[in-house]
Chain A
Amino acid sequence: MTGEARKAPFRPLARLKRIGGARASWSGLAAQAVLLAVLAWLAYEMVANVRANLAAQGIASGFGFLTHSAGFAVSQALIPYEQTDSYLRVFAVGLVNTLVVSAIGIVLATILGFVVGLGRLSPNWLLARLAGGYVELIRNLPLLYQILFWYLAVLGALPGPRQSLSPLPGVFLSNRGIVVPEPVPQASFAIVAAALALGIVIALGLGFYARRTLFRQGRVVRVWPYALAAVIGLPLAIALLFGAPLTFDVPELRGFNFAGGVRLLPEFAALTIALSTYTAAFIAENVRSGVLAVSRGQWEAGESLGLSRGQLLRLIVVPQALRVTLPPLANQYLNLTKNSSLAVAIGYPDLFSVFAGTALSQTGQAIEIIAITMAVYLAISLVTTTIMNVFNWRVARRGQA
């Protein structure tokens, strides 16, 4: 034995070199500096050029137009909107519509994707073939075609409001869209929501306490009844005390259309269905590759312990498959969000359609509007990526046996 462990020697120049690339030479670093300078110069030239051209053509620039009145109607506004509202308001309405379609699409695509992906690996011959057929059919047809298919061939073929289908009480399907009861928050909504949040915090605290007692003292504490009471009982008690937090406004047929309730546009429904079924086909393949990446030994270990196939999938295989499935899953979420801009084809008022479409053609301020739109899609994508990276890190961090 020769001496104690010591720190690595401090060599700042060598570290600088490593940042430029592990095997970079000094001349290689110089080349990188030159490239950086050229890129900066190109960017400067572009900006200067555009400014000069706009001034020469007399096109207004700047973001002043955002406060001007838009003057056009939007078919679906989830936040209050009038024709006289500003372009900024139009932007917000479009953004909310994009986010809603993307969020619902992501949830549905994930659920369907997992079901189809696992189904394709099922020992049940018919189920596996059906799932395989779904994947091959859906992922090989253009998304635009599928959006138009759902919009024109399926939803467009539904009967008018007076003959509408009602699969559930209070839910009506017609060629004007889907009408569902609208939840209306009551006075006690805030306090019940607060009670629910408090209950969740208490339950998390109890879980943490139970784990700590187990590992520090080797003692098992039964906390789940208290946790359950906190999450369900607490808000329930508050609701009983202060009255129900929500009531439902049920739609009714009046004349040729429905009054009350929330109406989901057929455009919205078609876009959501098309985006989620299309993306689900790709997610299914990601799930399948993840499951196949789990070693045979894991299955055998589970089988030899007597776990059923369902338990094996749920407890052993899927949690490990997620490590392989998550990074490409993030890609699919990004694709779905970006693909939602195809809404423009069927007139769903998403961000792209109302802002980079109508607002742009009315104002002519292409550079500003395209820049804002780009920044928004970029921001949504980067936020999605960050969330998925954090989730991925949490999954991957657990042992690498």
Chain B
Amino acid sequence: MAADPIVTIAGLNKWFGEFHVLRDIDLAVPRGARIVICGPSGSGKSTLIRCINALEEFQEGRITVDGIELGPGLRRVDEVRREVGMVFQSFNLFPHLTVLQNCTLAPIFVRKMPQKDAEALAMKYLERVRIPSLAPKYPGQISGGQQQRVAIARALAMSPKIMLFDEPTSALDPEMVKEVLDTMVDLATEGMTMLVVTHEMGFAREVASRVVFMDEGQIVEANTPGQFFDHPQHARTRLFLSQILR
């Protein structure tokens, strides 16, 4: 995969107080790649993707997103955030707004789109995640899986070039995991660049172009799903896989 990288992370180091949470991370994400990041809890995987849209500051290193550089001190934050969509573990829909308003808010106020166009755009993405009929409902009135699909539509409505998913299915009932994963598979098929933190190894095997395994703030191993699952190189990776695949 020699295509030009849309996200480049070089020498990234981050501390929470004294705790060294990310250590010398280097990662290049080619345009259209689907990167699945896995690892034990506390390994820094969520923190890593949160650095990409500047929800977290970092102390050393450089992140370049589609030619926009983020250094320590977080300049050009807004430009980067407009390129990057984020889906959270706990959905974080705005509970006081309807599903439709959740999806039109940022296009109207950030992209300065006329309300009419924003609503048409939002309906397009709600159809794409297959829940257009929920547009007038409030988040509290719909299921967790539906909420997460609205969250995906909300992020897509900003036409991002990259989508970040922070454990998008971890807070869902087992029955609802599939509907969210299906939506993500659709998105991958359409060529979206995705960075996904998840424990859904089936999704990783099926969709990922590359699987990254992190432990104690470092990238231990990064490989194609075939190599990663069938011929893990490191003892730590083998231990992790033996514990989650049974």
Contact = CB atoms under 8 A, between A and B. Distances in A.
A122 interface: no
A163 interface: no
Contacts of B65: none
A166 interface: no
B239 to A, nearest CB: 32
A25 interface: no
Contacts of B91: 401
Interface stretch (B1-9, B33-41, B108-116, B208-216): B108-116
A220 B115 contact: yes
Contact of A220 (B119, B136, B138): B119
A398 B95 contact: yes
Contacts of B28: none
A301 B92 contact: yes
B154 A399 contact: no
Interface string A205-247: 0000000001100101010000000000000000000000000
Interface stretch (A85-93, A137-145, A174-182, A311-319): A311-319
A372 interface: no
Interface residues of B, number: 37
Contacts of B119: 214, 220
Contact of A305 (B95, B106, B115): B106
A220 B109 contact: no
A298 interface: yes
A304 interface: yes
Interface stretch (B11-19, B82-90, B172-180, B182-190): B82-90
A215 B135 contact: yes
Contacts of A297: 88, 90, 92
B229 interface: no
Given A215-B136, A222-B116, A301 B88 contact: yes
A218 B88 contact: no
A320 interface: yes
B48 interface: no
A298 B82 CA distance: 17
B135 A304 contact: no
Interface residues of A, number: 27
A319 to B, nearest CB: 5
B203 interface: no
Contacts of B95: 320, 398-401
Contacts of B136: 215
A315 B90 contact: no
Given A304-B55, A401-B140, A319 B81 contact: no
Contact of B93 (A300, A304, A308, A401): A401
B81 A306 contact: yes
A320 B81 contact: no
A303 interface: yes
Interface in A293-336: 295, 297-298, 300-308, 311, 315-316, 319-320
A303 B139 CA distance: 19
A103 B199 CA distance: 57
A320 B96 contact: yes
Point out which of A218, A311, A319 has the most chain B C-beta atoms below 10 A from its C-beta: A218
A201 B106 CA distance: 30
Contact of B96 (A306, A307, A398): A398
Q: Which 6 A-B pairs have the closest CB atoms?
A: A399-B140, A399-B138, A301-B92, A305-B106, A401-B95, A304-B86
29 contacts: A215-B135, A220-B120, A297-B90, A297-B92, A298-B94, A300-B55, A300-B86, A300-B88, A301-B86, A301-B94, A302-B94, A303-B81, A304-B55, A304-B81, A304-B155, A306-B78, A306-B81, A307-B110, A315-B105, A316-B94, A319-B96, A320-B96, A399-B95, A399-B140, A400-B140, A401-B138, A401-B139, A401-B140, A401-B147
